[in-house]
Structure 1
Amino acid sequence: MNYNYIAPYYDLLSRICFLNRQQLAHKIILKHLNSGDQILWLGGGSGWFLEDINKLNIDLEIDYVELSTVMIEKAKARKVSNINVNFYQEDFFQFVPNRNYDVIITAFVFDHFLEKECEILFKKYNQFLKKKGKWAYVDFCEEQNFIQRFLTKSMVLFFNLVAGIEAKDFPKVNGLFDDFELIEGKEYFGNYIQSKIYKK
């Protein structure tokens, strides 16, 4: 998987295709961040949301893990003077955290992988989430109507071609959070995009 080729255009394409709803779906996360939180952010992309987090003006430390060199350079260029961000240009499967976290953020991450890979990632990082910690999950819905299925197939084919993603469909991952408490959820773009805050 390599987003370097599409990185310069990814944010613009996202805003156009989904009428800014992917960006709005992140906003739910903001009110669940507290001063002193240690945060693991997997797949932050270009880091545009760092600027929104920065506006909270609270003491936060973020371990920001992103594979794409182009994306992470864009993220590093963001003006985020109020938060401490540690950037790691690494594969999610290879990165090894050196701390436990109050919050884990995965926004449009699991949809890139096969179900068995999602299970591996979840189990790997869940062990680093503190008891009563929060997992911010933002992604496409699992139950889709005909039009949504068409959109899904089109997106998957596109990213197969431009980013080398192996998955042929979005994985079913809701069951991974069966032992968590859903404390807030919102839907966007019909119900195609979902934001969920889970508590361990």
Structure 2
Amino acid sequence: MRNSKVFSLVLVSIFAALTAIGAFIKIPLPVVPFTLQIVIVYLAGSILGSKRALQSQLVYILVGLAGLPVFTQGGGFTYVLQPTFGYLVGFAVGAFVIGYIIERGGEEPSRLRFVVANLAGTFVIYAIGAPYVYFALNFWLDMPTSASKVFMMAFASTVGVDIVLAILTGLFAKRIYFILNKKMMNVLEVTK
């Protein structure tokens, strides 16, 4: 039992670190800079399950709020005032939702379930992140911005890419899920 807890902590830590690394792997887009964080969130939810995926994202957020510069624009507690902080909260909730949907798929979730879970996670991320951008700009940062401009900037300009990534990651994640689960079972059996 202790070994499985240690293994879980290692996986949570690895995905927290991968999320931080993903924040700095940028793909240039015309309006909003795009990072690979969302792919890591999809993989965390797909592979770790709901609880560990949520934990990995919360560890990442807490490390950044503690002051380590793991967010795309630094770190520290005042980062909660940044318009993009809502997406980080969305990552945590989205990773949980992805894992939850996949866990409900039985022992052998289908590729379709992985894709649907990632698309649901995308919806959750944007449902939290885009309104946060609006409120941060208009109320905290005193940068009056219309809802339609925020919609274009924080949703319409990036959601298409994220949907494609959700689908591709869902198709790819099924294979990793089964490989990693077999390896985890072997590790846990050996360490008993």
TM-score normalised by length of structure 1: 0.30
Relative to total residues, which structure has the larger helix share, 1 or 2? 2
TM-score (ref. length: structure 2): 0.30
The structure where strand makes up a greater share of residues is: 1
Query: Highest CA radius of gyration, 1 or 2?
Result: 2
